[in-house]
Amino acid sequence: MADIDTSPSDANQAAQRIEAIRERIAHAATLADRDPATIELIAVSKTRPAQAISPLIAAGHRSFGENRVQEAADKWPDLRGADKLKLHLIGQLQSNKAGQAVALFDAIHSVDRPSLIDALARAMDEQGRRPDCFVQVNIGEEPQKGGCAIADLPAVLDRTRDAGLPVVGLMAVPPLEVEPAPYFALLAKLAARHGLAGLSMGMSSDFETAILLGATHVRIGTALFGERA
């Protein structure tokens, strides 16, 4: 990791936060009769400065999530250094940034429309790089959120497969301030119906419920980094 100093104290505190989350993941996984090792903890580092992220890297964490291509492009080259990190794009992606996203990210969680599918396929073919892809579903049918409509999911999946995208699962963000379990259960049902093993769902406030209902990737920000200023 290049030129970003991390004190032993900061790394130790980060390690304690990570361990606390991993214990909660393990507990939920045990209740669901699942192996905790099959659940990937994505530290959501969007809007966090490099100085807040580097202690988690120093503590051994290797999976991070960003919302915006440009923000990630600005801060991650120095953070990555020689470390083998996995970077997930969990925010909406404009088709004209597909090439940058393919170059920078190891997984893209917001595939949701034909124009983006086509742009990603072109970029992957040009670069010879194939990040894992999750199709995002607008599980609560909210107009302000990204994701394909539930009714459109079969067609979107057909388009991704025809384009050769490596689709590994589905992603969703349930509506705020309502019980998320029914939405997680619905996403799991849709994934099973279409033969997909990956489920990117669950955040700081509800990841244990998501794990009970099959989450394979949980996106944790506040519980690892604290409240934003």
Query: Taking the model in full, what pTM does it have?
Result: 0.94
Residue 159's pLDDT band (boundaries 50, 70, 90)?
A: very high
pLDDT at 2: 44
pLDDT tens-digit map of 161-211: 999 999 999 999 999 989 999 999 999 999 999 999 999 999 999 999 999
Domain architecture of the chain: domains with CATH: 8-223 (3.20.20.10)
Measured in whole angstroms, how far is the alpha carbon of residue 60 from the centre of its chain?
18
**Which residues, at least 6 apart from 87, have a Cβ–Cβ distance to it below 8 Å?**
64, 65, 66, 72, 76, 80, 104, 105, 106, 107
Instruction: Give the 3-state secondary structure of residue 49.
Output: coil
